[in-house]
Amino acid sequence: MNSRIRLDYNNLMTDRLGAYGISQAGLEAAGKAAVQASQWFHARRAAGKMDFFDLPDTPEHLNSCLKLAAKYKGKFDDLVVLGIGGSALGTTAIHSALNPSTYNLQDKKARRGRPRLWVLDNVDPEKLKAVLALLKAKRTLVNLISKSGATAETSAQFLWIRQWLMKDAGKNWSKNMVVTTDPAGGILRQIVDREKLSSLDVPSGVGGRFSVLTPVGLFPLAMAGVDIKSLLEGANQMRKMTLNENPWKNPARLYALTQFLLYQKGCRINVMMSYSDSLYPMTDWFRQLWAESLGKRVNNQNQTVETGPTPVKALGATDQHSQLQLYIEGPRDKAITFLMVEKFRSDITIPRAYPKIADISYLGGKSFGQLLNSEARATALALSKNGRPNCSFLIPEISPRTVGQLVFLLETATAYAGGLFGINPMDQPGVEEGKRYTYGLMGRAGFENRKAEAEKFEAGNSSRYVV
């Protein structure tokens, strides 16, 4: 069996979709744009603005994480990750892909002595309280993750969990915390120094949503027993492929290019539909990568473009009974990417029974894996026949290596797509304004005028428009 993932984009092409598809000529004609995007990418890389790209080839983070995870091995029953966005989504995605969905419900033996893993990426008090009620402070390691160190949600979580640890451990609370943050700047680094906390580095040149292969993801994943060495090897294998300047051999480039061409044709919604429960959270991680990187008001010439595809997550076969009706018959504004697993790590044979009931007896002797893959094939065919563009990432089997490939492919494709869209895929200027209003409403000094503005805005609400 092929040990690497492949992209099958037959069902994006005119051969399959007629006028709704991309023609071979169109793909070749876009070659120039693709070459420019590639040159732009490598120029940015040379300028130190694409540091994520060299992470798989950097042993430093692997070593620091393995070392720290070895130090803590067997010492904790629970690991709580406090972080949001890029500090949480990648860890959840890879943990879900490589550990059983029941991981936190298993007994310690089944978990091979690893701690349960709780990624708390929101500030809903009901949820936070419910989780903490299950944990014992002395047996809990907290991994606080924030690149800037100033994320309001993570700061609030820090104050809360620090008090909780203190109640149990007094001054020794700091032994139960590892902070992952910028190596030099930010208030979290100040706090690390002051409280003498263990810490790990997020490299300065790697943005949050591209940071899963830094200690942001590597440390908690190592603690949860994920083979992070193989994960990085898989990523490095894909890295070599994505350096291939022959565009027909470079899956990251082809994925970015085809999605870009479809966007020009009106497919502004990119559905990623996983035919695997364990890869479903990967679509959530990708959603941040794609939306935050490509959703931009201005292009690199500072012209207003208001561009960017909207990523949507979906799960097969489940969403065949929820979203497929819309995908097949609704507006032609979608391109669908399947995540298809060729061989499941374990399968179940469907027992034979009720030989005289035709509606059910045909299933006996087949397997669940076969059923799930038949559904995926049938969905791809039905979409194609209806002129709906779809492509597939074919994953031989879910493993640290193939997951590393997939993660790196999608990161690189996102960066390339930034070049094609002509925008900066590494910033997120649009979210700053909302943060300032939050500071204002939370009474932070220096943001009083924001508070006043927000209150004035809300006071202007008309009761006429409330029902």
Backbone phi and psi for residue 241, each to the nearest 5 degrees, phi listed first: -65, -35
Q: Choosing from 42, 138, 435, 453, which is the catalytic residue? A: 435
Please confirm, yes or no, whether 321 is among the known catalytic residues. Answer: yes
**10 is a contact residue toward a copy of itself (CB under 8 A):** yes
Q: Does 301 bind a copy of itself (CB under 8 A)?
A: no
Tell whether residue 13 is a contact of a copy of itself (CB under 8 A). Answer: yes
Residues of this chain, 393-432, that bind a copy of itself according to CB under 8 A = 394, 428-431
Per CB under 8 A, the list member of 171, 303, 459, 465 interacting with a copy of itself is 465
Q: CB 20: neighbour CB atoms within 10 A?
A: 18
85 binds a copy of itself (CB under 8 A): yes
**Residue 351 in contact with a copy of itself, rule: CB under 8 A:** yes
CB 72 within 8 A of CB 223: yes
Q: Please report whether residue 109 would count as binding a copy of itself according to CB under 8 A.
A: no
Tell me the backbone φ, ψ of residue 17, rounded to 5 degrees.
Answer: -110, 0
Question: 3-state DSSP call for residue 177?
Answer: strand
Q: Is 8 in the site for a copy of itself (CB under 8 A)?
A: yes
Which residue out of 321, 329, 432, 456 is catalytically annotated? Answer: 321
The single residue among 42, 73, 175, 435 that binds a copy of itself, judged by CB under 8 A, is 435
Return the half-sphere exposure (C-beta side, CA atoms, 13 A cut-off) of residue 412: 29
Cβ proximity to a copy of itself: between 18 and 446 the closer is: 446
Q: Does 347 bind a copy of itself (CB under 8 A)?
A: yes
Contact between 160 and a copy of itself (CB under 8 A)? yes
Q: Binding to a copy of itself by residue 25, rule CB under 8 A?
A: no
Q: Least CB distance from residue 437 to a copy of itself, whole Å?
A: 3
Q: Are 396 and 5 in contact (CB under 8 A)?
A: yes
Indicate which single residue of 50, 292, 390, 420 sits in contact with a copy of itself (rule: CB under 8 A). 292
**Cβ at position 54, least distance to a copy of itself in Å:** 23
- Among residues 139 and 249, whose Cβ is nearest to a copy of itself? 249
State how far the Cα of 362 lies from the Cα of 431, in Å rounded to an integer.
53
Determine the Cα angle at 128 with ends 89 and 148, to 5°.
50
Q: Does 169 bind a copy of itself (CB under 8 A)?
A: no
**Can you tell me the distance from the alpha carbon of 260 to that of 251, in angstroms, rounded to the nearest whole number?**
14
Nearest approach in angstroms of CB 58 to a copy of itself is 25
Taking the C-alpha atoms of residue 178 and residue 218, their distance in angstroms, rounded to an integer, is 13
Q: How far apart are the first and last CA of the chain?
A: 60
Nearer to a copy of itself, 55 or 312 (CB): 312
Q: Which amino acid is at 17?
A: L
Minimum CB distance to a copy of itself, residue 145 (Å): 12
| Pick 143 or 384: Cβ nearer a copy of itself | 384
> Is 292 tagged catalytic?
yes
Query: Quick check: 31 binds a copy of itself (CB under 8 A)?
Result: no
Ranges within 179-238 binding a copy of itself (CB under 8 A): 187, 190-191, 208-209
Residue of 215, 180, 159 whose CA lies nearest to 83: 180
Q: Does 461 bind a copy of itself (CB under 8 A)?
A: yes
Question: Which residues does residue 221 pair with via DSSP β-bridges, in sequence order?
Answer: none
The encoded tokens of residue 371 equal 């059923």
Q: How far apart are CA 456 and CA 462, in angstroms?
A: 12
Is 162 a binding residue for a copy of itself by CB under 8 A? The answer is yes
We find the least distance from the C-beta atom of residue 70 to a copy of itself, in angstroms, to be 27
15-21 CB contacts, 8 Å cutoff, 24+ apart? 16/384, 17/384, 17/387, 17/388, 17/389, 18/387, 19/387, 20/265, 20/332, 20/387, 20/388, 20/389, 21/387, 21/389
Establish if 127 lies at the interface with a copy of itself (CB under 8 A).
yes
Give me the catalytic one of 292, 296, 334, 451: 292
- Asked if 4 touches a copy of itself (CB under 8 A), the answer is no
| Strand runs labelled E in 206-320 | 269-274, 296-298, 304-307, 310-315
CB of 351 to a copy of itself, least distance (A): 4
Q: Which two tokens stand for residue 400?
A: 């640290």
Q: Is 245 a catalytic residue?
A: no
The angle, 0 to 180 degrees and rounded to 10, between the axes of the packed helices 448-459 and 432-441 is 90
Q: Tell me if residue 284 falls in helix, strand or coil.
A: helix
User: Which residues inside 312-331 make contact with a copy of itself, applying CB under 8 A?
Assistant: 312-313, 315, 317-318, 320-331
Candidate segments 29-37, 68-76, 196-204, 383-391, binder of a copy of itself by CB under 8 A: 383-391
* Cα–Cα dist 214/51, whole Å: 11
The one among 163, 172, 264, 449 contacting a copy of itself by CB under 8 A:
163
Question: What is the set of active-site residues?
Answer: 292, 321, 435
